[in-house]
Structure 1
Amino acid sequence: MTTTDPVVIMKQEVGKAAADRVQSNSIVGLGTGSTTAYAIQYIGERLQKGELTNIVGVPTSFQAEVLAKKYGIPLTTLDAVTHIDVAIDGADEVDPHKNLIKGGGAAHTREKVVDSLANQFIVVVDSGKLVDKLGSTFLLPVEVIPMAVTPVMNKLEQLGGKPELRMGIKKAGPVVTDQGNLVIDVKFESIDNPAELEKTINNMPGVLENGLFVGVADVILVGEIIDGKPSVKEI
């Protein structure tokens, strides 16, 4: 189905630009989100055309797994591979140092495992995700085992954050991750040292992982709309 919506076309172009960087005989980390979904689609199309051969994907979420199967990308697991050649994933915020906040889709734990293992991690975003400082526009997701929600929220408050349990949309009760855990979204007025905050939060008992990705991204592909036309630039 074709579209004339410039925002959709821009996301498609960014996804295609990332998919074009995938080479044959690769193990590919398949991320989560609307822009990454187009990358998965285009990788599948390149496979069907014979432009790519011998590709296997490692999905970061149930969504990525479903899309990969839909577009004919063979899948594997981290138990069966020794490395990942390239991972493609989105982000909710990107700072000038290529540090990220991820986890809008509550898949950041699996994403961090896969993206960190990749020899090259390509981030696909639109220009609205670029910020001067992390935490400017997006809350920081923290995945927590259910029994630890209250003590972790108390500790996050002591750090200066404003934590809220993420609730489901069109679902009664909280969001549950693919691991069966809960997500606390935290508003920090300013994240001055992302690396330090990432470690501090992850050291809290009961926390599985948080959405700060520090020093993980290699390439940022940014979609923009300039004079009504979509374009892609690399950072």
Structure 2
Amino acid sequence: MSDDIKKVCAREALKLIKTGTIIGLGGGSTISYLIQYIKEDANLEVKVVTPSVKTRLLCIQNGLEVLYTSAVEQISVAFDGCDEVDESLNALKSGGGIHTKEKLIASMAEDYILLVDDTKFVSRLTFKHPVVLEILEDSLAYVQHKVAELGGKPSIRTSAAKDGFTVTENGNLLLDVHFEQVDDIAKLESELQQIRGVVDTSLFVNVATKALIAGESGVRLVSGTKN
């Protein structure tokens, strides 16, 4: 997504925020533009919860009040990005490894809106990106065995910038699982969640309520239902 398209998307997102509310903000450059626009709008007063350390710092630098997520029960609207979202608003996130907290904030929100460009909007999830599992360290071999039974190819996440495995803020490991073919997306999410040791997955099913799809021809809002 070009910077211009990201800015247009952020402007549209701004229109969906009501003053005097608590909002959720994920990570990424579109969110960065949204923070800038919130700061510039003198009539808009909001408080923020975020799963992202970078977003937290950016909000603080721009004078926005950031609340401890642990002290908040419900928020008005949350915005986030993703790697891919389909027409049923199933979404897949892979990169940041903070999906457990992202999904928590999504569940707290009356509206959870994904901000993406039209290259990430597909008729049905393709699973070209892995499903990421946050798992307890002790469960590593067991979870790898169980996801292999489901047809997944697991690989534990490491980083060139760190010796050993990548560890989440919660002290857990990240397992990237590639699936070649998924016949029932909701069933896969349910089966992964039921594996003991899995904290949460980066597959978002019945979580997003809307998606703002930005492209050269403008921005459109796709709505779904949230259970």
How far the C-alpha of 1:136 sits from its partner, in A, is 3.2
Structure 1 173/25 Cα, relative in aligned 2: closer, same or farther at 3 Å?
same
Under a length normalisation based on structure 1, what TM-score does the superposition of the two structures give?
0.88
Point out the structure with the larger strand share.
Answer: 2
Once the two structures are superposed, residues 37-69 of structure 1 have per-residue CA deviations (whole angstroms, 9 ceiling, x without a partner) of 3223322332xxx1202x110111212211211
1:18 match: 13
Aligned length: 222
2:225 match: none
Superposition RMSD in Å: 1.7
Unaligned runs of 5+ in 2: 223-227
2:3 match: 8
2:37 match: 42
Q: After superposition, where does 1:102-141 map in structure 2 within 5 Å?
A: 102-141=93-132
**How high is the sequence identity, in percent, across the aligned residues?**
36
Once the two structures are superposed, residues 195-225 of structure 1 have per-residue CA deviations (whole angstroms, 9 ceiling, x without a partner) of 2211211111111000111111111111213
- Match 2:54 to one of 49, 56, 63: 63
How far the C-alpha of 1:23 sits from its partner, in A, is 1.1
- Match 1:77 to one of 61, 65, 68: 68
Instruction: Please say if residues 144 and 207 of structure 1, whose CA atoms lie closer than 8 Å, have aligned partners that are also in contact.
Output: yes
Under a length normalisation based on structure 2, what TM-score does the superposition of the two structures give?
0.91
Kindly indicate whether residue 221 of structure 2 is the aligned counterpart of residue 234 of structure 1: yes
How far the C-alpha of 1:171 sits from its partner, in A, is 2.9
How far the C-alpha of 1:169 sits from its partner, in A, is 4.1
Q: After superposition, where does 1:187-206 map in structure 2 within 5 Å?
A: 187-206=178-197
1:154 match: 145
1:3 match: none
**2: distance between equivalents of 1:103 and 1:41?**
26
Unaligned runs of 5+ in 1: 1-5
Q: Give the partner amino acid of 1:234.
A: L
How far the C-alpha of 1:145 sits from its partner, in A, is 1.5
Instruction: Please say if residues 133 and 191 of structure 1, whose CA atoms lie closer than 8 Å, have aligned partners that are also in contact.
Output: no
Structure 1 38/172 Cα, relative in aligned 2: closer, same or farther at 3 Å?
farther
Q: After superposition, where does 1:177-216 map in structure 2 within 5 Å?
A: 177-216=168-207
How far the C-alpha of 1:20 sits from its partner, in A, is 2.6
Once the two structures are superposed, residues 81-133 of structure 1 have per-residue CA deviations (whole angstroms, 9 ceiling, x without a partner) of 33110001111110110111123211100000001110111110111211233
